[in-house]
Structures are given as C-alpha cells and as structure tokens.
Amino acid sequence: MKDFDFEVLVVGSGAGGSMAAYELTKAGHKVLMLEAGRDYDPKTETPMFKRNGEAPLMGAGTIDKDFGYYDATVDGGWNVPNEPYTAADGSEFLWWRARMLGGRTNHWGRYSLRFSEHDFKGKSRDGLGADWPFDYEDIAPWYDKTEALVGVCGTNTGLDDMPPSSDGILQPPPKPRITELLIAAAAKKLGIPLAPMHRAVLTRPLDNRAACFYATPCGHGCSIGAAFQTTTSLIPMAKATGNLQVITDAMVKSVDTDENGKVTGVSYVDKKTSTVHQLKAKVVILAASACESARLLLNSKSARFPQGLANSSGQVGKNLMDSTGANIGALVPALQGRPIYNEDGHTANHLFIPWWGHKAQERKELDFPRGYHFEIGGRFSEPNSGIAGYVQGYGPDLKRQVKQNYGAYIGFALRGEMVPNEHCYMDIDPEVKDKWGIPVARFHWKWSEHELNQVAHGLKTAKAIFAEMGADVGELPTPEQAILKGGEIIHEVGTTRMGASPKDSVTNQWGQSWDCPNLFVMDGGVFASNPHKNCTLTIMTLAMRNSSWLSAQLKQGAI
C-alpha cells in the first residue's frame, strides 16, 4: 500500500467496517480496510440454486459448516482452525467468527428491526444495565438513511415495539404464508399481534442490485445482491469512489500507540506468509466484531496502557451480552395435507411475533425485565436431512405420512434481551495463543434469573399459541434446559460499550474511545444494551452516523 496514502484504517469488512468505509470514502477520505479472512466473490462463489441432494450429507450441518454445506460462510464458524478460544471453569460460550471478506453479512438472517426509545433507556426504566448516551430521536434519521441505503422491506405497524420509518423508506414486504397466517390468528386470540418482519432483502431493485426473485435460500448468499451483504453492496460501492483499498488475510494483532498515547496504526500478520507488518494511520476504526475488537484492545498493552488500550475504565471485555434463545415446535394437525404452493418467498419470516409486553412490564406484572420476540419456522421448504419427522412403519403408507406432515411442522425461535451481569465477560487467556502468537480470548458466562424467567414465559406463551392451533408441544422443558448457550445466537455485543462517562464506558456516543481520540469502535462492541432485536441494523446505523461525525471532525482538523 505504498502508493495509497490512506487516512483511516478500518479493521473488519462486515456490517460495521464496511458501512464506515462506505461513509468515509463517499466523503472523500482514503480508507484502507483489513480483513482477517480470505477474499470472497459472491458473484462466482455463491451456490444459489444448489439443492441439498447435491451436497455431502444432504447439506446437513457439520463442525466444518455449522449451518449446512451451502451456508455462505467460508473459513468460519464456531470453530476456526488455528484460532482457538477458551472458556473459564464452569463457563460455556460459543464464539462465531466469519473469516471472509464481508464477514457475517454474507450469511446472516437479515432481520432488521429498529431499537426504540424504550430500548435505548432500559436503565432509566428499571434500573438494570446501562442507558445509551443518546435518544431515539438522535438516531432515527440515521436509521432512515441506513434502511434506504441497505434496502429493508417491511411496513410501519404502529406497534410500540416497532418505531416507524419515514415515509418511502421501507420497501413493501412479501405476502404472508399460510403457516404465518394461522399463527397470527391463534396469537391474536391471546392478545398477541404478528407483524411483517423487517428484512434487509430488496423487494424492489436498488442501485445495481436486483430485487429478490423468491428462490434460493438466503443463507447460501445472494449473488444478485437482493439479500444484503457488504460484498455485493457497500464494499463495491466504496471501491467505486476510488478511495478504498482492501487487504485480506490480514490478522491484526495489536493497535499501536506512541509515547503520548496517541494511536499510530496497527500491526498485522499476513496469514499467507506469516509475516508481521505495521501500518500507520491517522485514525483507526475497530470493526472486527465485538469480542475480536475487545481482544485486540486487551492485547494492545503498553507502559502507558498496562490494562490494554482504551481500558482506563476497566470495561473492555465486560458487559458481554448475547440474545437469549430457545426453540419450541410441534406438528400442527390442522395443517396436515394442506394444499401445496411455493412458500419460499424470501426464505425467512414474512410475519413474526414482536414483543407485546411493554405495558405489562411497566405494571410489574411480569417477573422478567426485558422483552423477546418469536421468529417463526414452518413452510414447504426444500427437503433436507430432517425431512422425515416422526413417522412409523414402512412401505407406501410411510411415504404418505411424510407427505401428510410436509409443511405441518411449526417451530418458534425465541430471541430475547439479556441484561448484562458481572459473570458474563471476556478477558485474555494467560496461556493459550493462536497460530499467529496472539493471546486468545477467554469467556466467562452465566445466565441470570432475568433470562431464565423470560425464557420460561416464552415457552409457556408458545405452548398456549400452539394449543390454539390444536397442537400439543408436550411437556415443557425447564428454562435451564431450554435456553441456548451463550454465543449460540451470535448476537454478542457490549464488550466496548459506549456511555456518557469515561468512568464506566469505553467510548462516547460516537464510538470514539475516551482514552485515544483517534481510535474508534464501530461494531457491536459499543452496544450499551442488547435489545431482543437482531443487532446488525443498529451496528450499521451507528457506523454510518459515527463515520459521518468522524468525517466532520477530520475535515475540521479536530482529529
């Protein structure tokens, strides 16, 4: 990069890093992006129309490809060769990494729900966790800009859990499926509404990206650009300005500082040659994903920063949160043998169940403080290794049973807000290092009664909705049995949280570290709380807003 005189160095090419690069390059700043994974070209590498039967093991998930053979994630997952992590005694935590250009945006669920004023001010409401250092009104225009740029389909519902987008921002949602319509009626009888999911999937063409053609699983990736991933949108758009260059296979090991504590650049390992390189930059933006950015800061120790960089508050690595998760499902007899039609649509929720219990929580009628939503599974999907379900016998009658049950199984996936607690954090393992000699992350984890009570409520609610549909989910598991592991929902955030004071937070509301004015964090690490709504839309929105602010600071000469 000798001939590329860049001003800003961005670590990570996922949602936060790519949005930062897009916003800054558009504003005329030269940006160099480092990605720890390999280069990736969705145009040629996406197995769009591939069928399960063509893949090893009918496409079933394995330790090599956790979400199935055709999942777009390459060189990543909960287990990345050469890059271990550890868990403290008594803790279990799964850490997902996507080591590829575009990071997790290549395969994510693309659920894109705005946080509300309510979500940003949890502590003011119930005394738990931390408030965010701004109000919903401050960020609402940036949600509009992000949704318009990314391309989000959905509608304004008027529900208190779903703040409206400005007119003309959202693209129209696809029609609901029969399963979703049945659930909607059953839930409504219990006073629970369903609503169109907001998803980062185009239902109308946008710039050079095509609208969804309602075929091929979104998880395969989307070479036509309809399902949002930075490799088909923000990265090429930023490159088109002439202001972005990208180095892949670049594993950053430390953020470097001078004797005044000012950040000077980063050191990285070229994974192909195992050589270490140093890069100087005016500004460094960490967007490596929450725990990777925190790991980097904790590993960037110096005489001036003995506890790690940007960690004068001692909060780096603390406040680690994931979403709560639990699954519950059943065969719905009323749907057996129903008329078949194409239920692919875009291959995730058209309708879902947003959190409906704010008022009950205000009235203190619930024994848990924060909300959850249900994502819904159940449609005529392409057969996979689990297609048989629970059947008996043999011969023609056996096949008839499978056909009869096809499209009649419904599953609910709970996703809920977790309150940060002192037992959930990450630090650096004192002994273990990865292949590149970089000390690895060590996780500490324990769910509190807030999460367990919430999951118990979710299980009971789901059982009641299933009962209205004439389906029996059987005996409910305990919440301890049902709750998924920390990290399993892959919504880990909070390890470099933003706040109003340098005493108890790592960055200010702009993602600017309190300790080093030219060091920013623009991934989920800055989340002060983790509302039940999937985090990526807010990561992108904050990255856009904060890069815009950074650009102004650079132009004013303030940084």
Pick the binder of other proteins from 56, 141, 314, 437 (CB under 8 A): 56
> Applying CB under 8 A, which of residues 13, 25, 52, 112 lies at the interface with other proteins?
52
Applying CB under 8 A, the span of 45-53, 446-454, 515-523, 534-542 interacting with other proteins comes to 45-53
Choose which of 381, 448, 453, 553 interacts with other proteins (CB under 8 A): 381
The residue within the footprint of other proteins, chosen from 28, 314, 437, 470 (CB under 8 A), is: 470
Enter the tokens of residue 14: 């996922």
Q: Is 41 among the residues that bind other proteins (CB under 8 A)?
A: no
**Closest CB to other proteins among 378 and 479?**
378
Q: How far is the CB of 43 from other proteins (least distance, A)?
A: 12
Cα end-to-end span (Å), the chain:
23
| Dist CA 255 CA 300 (whole Å) | 6
3-state secondary structure of 478: coil
Q: How far apart are CA 509 and CA 545, in angstroms?
A: 10
The residue from 130, 162, 194, 246 that contacts other proteins (CB under 8 A) is: 194
- The single residue among 55, 140, 148, 440 that binds other proteins, judged by CB under 8 A, is 55
Cβ burial of 489 (10 Å; 0-12, 13-18, 19+) is buried
- If one asks whether residue 342 binds other proteins (CB under 8 A), the answer comes out as yes
Radius of gyration of the chain (CA): 23
The span of 85-93, 274-282, 288-296, 336-344 binding other proteins (CB under 8 A) equals 336-344
Smallest gap from Cβ 55 to other proteins, in A, equals: 5
**Owner of token pair 């409520």:** 457
Decide if 97 contacts 74 (C-beta within 8 A).
Answer: no
Number of residues that bind other proteins (CB under 8 A): 86
Phi, psi dihedrals of residue 520, rounded to the nearest 5°: -120, 155
Our CB check for other proteins shows the closer of 128 and 387 to be 387
Q: Does residue 345 bind other proteins (CB under 8 A)? A: yes
Determine, following the binding rule CB under 8 A, whether residue 39 of this chain makes contact with other proteins.
no
* Residue whose CB is less far from other proteins, 304 or 403: 403
What residue ranges in 345-457 does DSSP mark as E strands? 351-352, 372-377, 409-416, 425-433, 439-444
To other proteins, the closest distance from the beta carbon of 381 in angstroms equals 7
Q: Which helix (H) or strand (E) holds 479?
A: helix 479-482
Find the angle CA(226)-CA(232)-CA(234) to the nearest 5 degrees.
110
Packing angle, helices 15-26 and 536-556, rounded to 10: 30
Q: Give the one residue of 26, 338, 423, 485 binding other proteins; rule: CB under 8 A.
A: 338
Gap between the Cα atoms of 237 and 34, Å rounded? 17
Residue 514-553 contact track with other proteins, rule CB under 8 A, x = bound:
----------------------------------------
Judged by CB under 8 A, the residue of 339, 430, 474, 557 near other proteins is 339
For residue 196, the minimal CB distance to other proteins (Å) is: 10
Least Cβ distance, residue 41 to other proteins (angstroms): 12
Which among 199, 9, 14, 16 has a CA at the least distance from the CA of 97? 14
Instruction: Tell me if 208 contacts other proteins by CB under 8 A.
Output: no
User: Under the criterion CB under 8 A, does residue 215 sit at the interface with other proteins?
Assistant: yes
Cβ–Cβ contacts within 10 Å for residue 556, how many?
Answer: 8
Closest CA to 10 of 265, 233, 229, 257: 265
Per rule CB under 8 A, is residue 475 in the interface with other proteins?
Answer: no
**Is the Cβ of residue 366 or residue 391 nearer to other proteins in the bound state?**
391
* 343 touches other proteins (CB under 8 A): yes
Residues 384-443 close enough to bind other proteins by CB under 8 A: 384-388, 391-399, 402-403, 406
- For the segment 253-272, give every residue that binds other proteins (CB under 8 A): none
Q: Which is nearer to other proteins, 381 or 453 (CB)?
A: 381
**Torsion angle, CA of 37/38/44/46, rounded to 10 degrees?**
-30
Stretch that binds other proteins, among 132-140, 241-249, 374-382, 537-545 (CB under 8 A): 374-382
- The Cβ of residue 208 has, within 10 Å, a number of other Cβ atoms equal to 11
Taking the least distance from each CB to other proteins, the nearer of 175 and 280 is: 175
8-state DSSP, 189: H
Tell me the two tokens of residue 218: 């979104």
**Judged by CB, which is closer to other proteins: 66, or 270?**
66
CA 455 from centre of chain = 20
Q: How many helices (H) and strands (E) does the chain have?
A: 13, 18
Site string for other proteins, 163-192 (x = CB under 8 A): ---------x-xxxxx-xxx-xxx-xx---
| CB half-sphere exposure, 224, CA atoms < 13 A | 18
What region does 286 belong to: left with phi over 0, alpha with psi -120 to 50, or beta?
beta
Residues 57-96 that bind other proteins (CB under 8 A): 57-58, 60, 62-65, 69-70, 74-77, 80-81
380 binds other proteins (CB under 8 A): yes
Closest CA to 530 of 323, 373, 392: 323
Shortest distance, CB of residue 152 to other proteins, whole angstroms? 16
Closer to other proteins by Cβ: residue 30 or 104: 104
Among 21-29, 38-46, 280-288, 441-449, which window interacts with other proteins (CB under 8 A)?
Answer: 38-46
**Tokens coding 429:** 């393992």
CA–CA gap between residue 537 and residue 556 (Å, rounded): 29
Of 344, 434, 451, 488, which one interacts with other proteins (CB under 8 A)?
A: 344
Q: Which amino acid is it at 96? A: W
